[in-house]
């Protein structure tokens, strides 16, 4: 390992920038040509470039959940489709969670890049397809007890061969989803994204020559590895344990433990999840791809953000995820919630573990859920079924130097909330309220970020709703004496009633946070409350002027200002 004396850092920087630019263009293509709001509004996708051997060379700054899992997805897929069977114009699709995938909605598309008749690279797009069949519209089957409840599973297959659609694959896939027109449009967008990227990359490779380009990329990965090793070397050696809990799995009420011990050993880190709960009956099991992704996500947060993100920077990180546990689920146990709900808990546990080693960069727990409110119904105007995956946002944990961000997507998302105007145009809901929740951030010298409240009224259609979320019980933890963030909550009010109830009370569900196929009728209302982030440091050390500002802005009530920070009405 180590960059050779002949490393051309200038060309390396230019090529890396070109590749990232191509990845960004892939994402923009996806955003602008897709049909579903999960792509064109929420941007729930990632675009990358990989070598022909499956190592990630470059990735754009979209969704962290998919960035860390990319190397495993690529390498697993290429083990099943030999390189000598791949031709120009092919596109491969795959979503199998047990073969390197993240969860059933996440579809990975690969497009080979040929230059001078050589297969040099792949462009890759991973996107969350909103509707994948299975027992609920919108993909998050909270009451699933096996993979077959969670939607159609696609092993690595070609969806295009030598530039032509493979009709059998299209027909099979579209026959198993509720919204074939939207799925067709979204898949076409994913394909367009990787094909645009392939064209750009081929131009870049041609400009520099295949051999020189490969050498530069190899040097780039070695450079990233060296930078990451240098970061790790600066951390004190030692064993750093931590654990956190998922509330339940939606099937039973038992909490689930995420256990981690991080070993910093000179310039390497071993992230060992031994001691985590065995895999569970409900769909919050994480695949190995999710656990890799979460561990990498956490370490990237704690190291220099200028380190180029490619397979090289992950080489000094060893992730140990015992098979058959909640962090490495075995077939055929359900897993759809692992990518959105368990990933934040895993990443948070790694950050919590390494906080003593990296106090300047560590932060208290963020809200750690995407809320995953999914629904479907019949669009009367167009006489067509609609389905939606709605993401909500949470409070982030405070750092040593700053309050946590309010209303931001969880650590593995980087997704946007669909604007109310777009949401109401597409779906039969009226948005009554979207607001920040005072006092929801954990108290501290720096305060946790605020969660949000959203209230909808169902308009003129029956809507089948489901949700897979967490942090209704176990709150986002504070760090170094900081307080916890508040819990999330989902409530229902029937038309004509004035009583809010949770889903266990209203519909007899096993969990308040994980429930499936509740029919919401016109006039019914739904309220979603999202968790706040944890605080950092003792509240006694918070600058009183900042507390006063919080009260003036409505972030903290006068009552909590007195109770948490000792601030009286006179500001003293």
Partner 1 sequence: MRFSDTGYYIERYIKCGNCGVLVYDEGVKASDPKLEGQTFCSDWCVDWRTQRVNGNKAPRIKTG
* Interface residues toward partner 1, by CB under 8 A: 1, 72, 76, 79, 98-100, 225, 229, 239, 263, 265-268, 270, 288, 291, 315-316, 318-323, 328, 330-331
Nearer to partner 1, 71 or 348 (CB): 71
Interstrand relation of 164-165 and 157-161 (parallel, antiparallel or unpaired): antiparallel
Report the distance separating Cα 468 and Cα 449, nearest Å.
Answer: 22
- Which residue lies nearer to partner 1 by CB, 326 or 458? 326
536, two tokens: 């950092």
Residue closer to partner 1 (CB basis): 8 or 268: 268
Cβ closest to partner 1, residue 264 vs residue 561: 264
Inter-helix orientation angle 180-208/167-174, to 10°: 140
User: What is the smallest separation between the CB atom of 7 and partner 1, expressed in angstroms?
Assistant: 17
Listing DSSP states for 279-345 in one string gives P-SSTTPPPHHHHHHHHHHHHHHTS-TTS--SHHHHTTEEEE--TTBTTBPPTTS--TTIIIIIHHH
Distance of closest approach, residue 134 Cβ to partner 1, in angstroms: 19
Least gap, CB of 358 to partner 1 (angstroms): 19
Bond into 343 cis (ω within 30): no
Residue 291 or residue 513: which is nearer to partner 1 going by CB?
291
53/499 with CB nearer partner 1: 53
CB-nearer residue toward partner 1: 56 or 493: 56
- For partner 1, give the closer residue by CB, 32 or 79: 79
| Token reading at 180 | 């074939």
| Minimum distance of partner 1 from residue 213's CB (angstroms) | 25
Closest approach of partner 1 to the CB of residue 192, in Å:
30
Number of alpha carbons in the 13 Å side-chain half-sphere of residue 299: 30
Which DSSP category does 62 fall into? S
Hey, which bits of 285-369 come out as E strands? 317-320
Shortest distance, position 156 Cβ to partner 1, whole Å: 12
In three-state secondary structure terms, 53 is coil
What burial class does residue 2 get, using C-beta atoms within 10 Å of its C-beta: 0-12 exposed, 13-18 middle, 19+ buried?
exposed
- Asked whether 103 and 336 are in contact (CB, 8 A), the reply is yes
Question: What letter would DSSP give residue 523?
Answer: T
| Alpha helices (H) along 90-238 | 167-174, 180-208, 210-233
Q: How far is the CB of 292 from partner 1 (least distance, A)?
A: 9
How far, in Å, CA of 374 to CA of 140, rounded?
7
Contacts of 509 (CB under 8 A, 6+ apart): 503, 515, 518
196 or 327: whose CB is closer to partner 1? 327
Structure tokens at 105: 């909605």
CA dist 286 and 342 (Å) reads 6
CB of 331 to partner 1, least distance (A): 6
Instruction: Give least dist CB 92 to partner 1, A.
Output: 16
């Amino acid at each position: 390992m180590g960059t050779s004396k002949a490393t051309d850092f200038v060309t390396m920087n230019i090529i890396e920038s070109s590749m990232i630019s191509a990845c960004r263009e892939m994402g923009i293509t996806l955003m602008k040509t897709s049909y579903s709001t999960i792509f064109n509004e929420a941007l729930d996708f990632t675009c990358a470039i990989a070598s022909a051997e499956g190592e990630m060379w470059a990735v754009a700054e979209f969704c962290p959940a998919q960035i860390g899992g990319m190397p495993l997805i690529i390498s697993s897929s290429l083990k099943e489709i030999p390189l000598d069977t791949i031709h120009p114009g092919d596109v491969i699709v795959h979503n199998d969670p047990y073969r390197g995938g993240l969860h059933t909605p996440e579809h990975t598309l690969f497009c080979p890049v040929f230059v001078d008749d050589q297969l040099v690279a792949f462009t890759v797009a991973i996107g969350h397809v909103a509707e994948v069949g299975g027992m609920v519209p919108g993909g998050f089957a909270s009451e699933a007890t096996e993979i077959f409840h969670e939607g159609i599973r696609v092993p690595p297959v070609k969806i295009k061969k030598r530039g032509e659609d493979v009709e059998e694959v299209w027909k099979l896939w579209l026959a198993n989803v509720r919204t074939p027109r939207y799925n067709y449009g979204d898949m076409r967008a994913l394909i367009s994204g990787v094909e645009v990227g392939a064209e750009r990359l081929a131009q870049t490779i041609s400009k520099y020559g295949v051999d020189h380009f490969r050498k530069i990329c190899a040097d780039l990965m070695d450079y990233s590895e060296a930078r990451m090793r240098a970061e790790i070397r600066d951390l004190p050696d030692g064993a750093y344990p931590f654990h956190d809990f998922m509330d339940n799995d939606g099937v039973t009420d038992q909490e689930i433990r995420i256990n981690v011990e991080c070993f910093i050993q000179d310039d390497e880190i071993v992230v060992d999840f031994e001691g985590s709960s065995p895999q569970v009956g409900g769909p919050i099991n994480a695949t190995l791809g999710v656990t890799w992704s979460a561990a990498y996500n956490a370490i990237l947060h704690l190291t220099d953000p200028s380190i180029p993100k490619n397979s090289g920077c992950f080489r000094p990180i060893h992730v140990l995820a015992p098979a058959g546990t909640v962090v490495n689920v075995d077939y055929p146990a359900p897993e759809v919630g692992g990518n959105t709900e368990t990933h934040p808990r895993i990443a948070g546990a790694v950050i919590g573990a390494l906080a003593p080693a990296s106090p300047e960069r560590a932060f208290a727990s963020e809200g750690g859920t995407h809320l995953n409110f999914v629904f479907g119904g019949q669009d009367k105007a167009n006489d067509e079924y609609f389905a939606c995956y709605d993401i909500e946002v949470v409070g982030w944990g405070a750092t040593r130097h700053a309050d946590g961000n309010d209303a931001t997507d969880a650590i593995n998302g980087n997704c946007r909330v669909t604007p109310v105007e777009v949401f109401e145009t597409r779906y039969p809901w009226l948005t009554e309220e979207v607001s920040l929740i005072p006092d929801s951030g954990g108290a501290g010298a720096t305060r946790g970020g605020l969660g949000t409240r959203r209230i909808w009224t169902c308009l003129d259609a029956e809507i089948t709703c489901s949700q897979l979320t967490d942090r209704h019980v176990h709150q986002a933890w504070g760090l170094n004496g900081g307080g916890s963030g508040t819990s999330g909550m989902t409530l229902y009010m029937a038309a004509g009633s004035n009583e809010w109830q949770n889903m266990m009370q209203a519909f007899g569900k096993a969990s308040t946070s994980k429930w499936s196929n509740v029919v919401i009728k016109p006039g019914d209302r739904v309220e979603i409350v999202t968790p706040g982030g944890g605080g950092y440091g003792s509240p006694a050390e918070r600058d009183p002027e900042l507390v006063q500002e919080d009260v003036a802005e409505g972030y903290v009530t006068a009552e909590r200002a007195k109770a948490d920070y000792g601030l009286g009405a006179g500001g003293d």
